Amino acid sequence: MNMERHKGFTVVELLITIVVVSILLATGVPSILQMVKNNRVTTQANKLVTSVQLGRNEAVKRGTRTTVCAANTTLDDCAGSTNWANGWIVFSNLDNDSTTDTGTGACLATEDCIMRTSEGINNSTLTGSDSVIHFLPTGLTDNGPVTFTLTANDCENEQERSIIVTLQGHTTIASQACTP
């Protein structure tokens, strides 16, 4: 008698596979979500640091004062606020008045020039100890150190960043535990 053997999975094998996959998903998905949140906050912090470094480099290169400030809603002037979450601008500040004073927008040597605008950040808050950072032609700040706190709206574990711009114009980023 020749019995034909059917190929496939048994119900028990299928159930064991489903249980194993469920356990892996239950432990892996939260870790992936945490990684995504951490990467988002790190990217946001790096976005600010890049603008600060641009401001410092342009001050030295141009031999003029440069300002990085929390922007107004139209991203064309300083807001005068320590809330940086709405965005920020980097501009040459020839008359040291914390306003952009741009005329033609051609970046003439006689007027302020907006070098970068950065739109606000999402799902996070960003506050600074000052509303502006002024860079001197030497690369130093005249109002440093300025400290920023970047916090994810749904902050867990160490999804908060402390960003410090020193008097010398250097920046540091440190992860820290979420503050309640």
Stretches in the chain below the pLDDT threshold 70: 1-3, 102-110
Report pLDDT for 36: 85
Beta partners for 113? 92
- Listed residue (76, 57, 74, 79) closest to 66, CA to CA: 57
The whole-number pLDDT of residue 161 equals 94
Cα 121-122-127 angle, rounded to 5 deg: 50
pLDDT of residue 97: 78
Which ranges in the chain belong to alpha helices (H)? 11-62
User: Chain-centre distance of CA 7, in angstroms?
Assistant: 55
Q: Give the per-residue pLDDT at 150.
A: 94
Rounded to two decimals, the pTM is 0.80
Question: For residue 75, what is the DSSP state?
Answer: S
Domains contained in the chain, CATH given: 12-123+130-138 (3.55.40)
Residues 120, 89: contact at Cβ < 8 Å? no
The DSSP element (H or E) to which 180 belongs, if any, is none
Confirm if 127 and 161 have CB atoms less than 8 A apart: no
Report CA torsion sign: 104, 106, 65, 167.
positive
Q: Which helix (H) or strand (E) holds 136?
A: none
Residue 53: per-residue pLDDT:
97
Q: Which of 87, 91, 98, 5 is nearest to 47 (CA)?
A: 87
In terms of residues, how long is the chain?
180
pLDDT digits (tens, 9 = 90+) for 55-104: 999 999 989 999 999 999 999 889 999 999 999 999 998 887 777 876 55
Sheet holding 124-128, edge to edge: 124-128, 146-152, 160-165, 171-176
Q: Provide the pLDDT for residue 102.
A: 65
